[in-house]
Amino acid sequence: MISQVQKTSFVSLVGAGPGNPRLLTLRAMRRLKEGEIVLHDALGTREILDLLPAPVRRVNVGKRAGRHAIPQEEINRLLVNLALRGRRVVRLKGDDPAIFGRLEEEMTALADAGTPYEIVPGITTASAAAASVGLSLTMRGGYNS
């Protein structure tokens, strides 16, 4: 649970899952509604951004095939600086934040600055895709060909 002190200066590294707002975790949705500034990826976040309250500031920090809205080092600095100014920051990452998301770099920057943060996992796209077509990712006893 986040204390009142942490609420004034805190970063949530939130997974958007496969980008379907109905597949956001309750915790992810709560953090998005509590945030003051959302730094978001380019992929898997558009429909989710539409759910944010009007006063929430949205900052595109997404990367696409060699085109970066903001270099990673600047994203790290932005996360730290906003938190140090007492803002509630959400870093919305496509899929699960621990997969393909440079999570380690962002966590290191926050930890080095003494900034409190949390990781809010998203539903991994692989499991969401399997569920959408009615497949199980595991089978007791294995699969037979």
* Kind and range of the H or E run holding 127: helix 125-132
Q: Which helix (H) or strand (E) holds 26?
A: helix 26-34
Q: What pLDDT does residue 16 have?
A: 92
pLDDT computed for residue 131 by the predictor: 86
Kindly report, residue by residue over 91-145, the tens digit of the pLDDT. 999 888 888 778 999 999 999 999 999 999 988 888 888 888 998 888 777 666 5
Cβ neighbour number for residue 6 with a 10 Å cutoff? 14
* Average pLDDT score over residue span 8-29: 91
Query: Residues with catalytic annotation?
Result: 41, 63
- CA dist., res. 90 & res. 35, Å (int): 6
- Give the β-pairing of 117-120 and 10-15: parallel
pLDDT at position 144, please?
Answer: 66
> Cα(106)–Cα(110) distance, rounded to whole angstroms?
6
Helix (H, G, I), strand (E, B) or coil at 30: helix
User: Residue 50 contacts by C-beta under 8 Å, 6 or more apart in sequence?
Assistant: 21
Lowest average pLDDT, out of 6-20, 22-36, 79-93, goes to: 6-20
Confidence of residue 4 (pLDDT cuts 50, 70, 90): very low
**Residue 40 forms beta bridges with which residues?**
60, 92
User: What is the per-residue pLDDT for 97?
Assistant: 87
Indicate if the pLDDT at residue 32 is higher than 90: yes
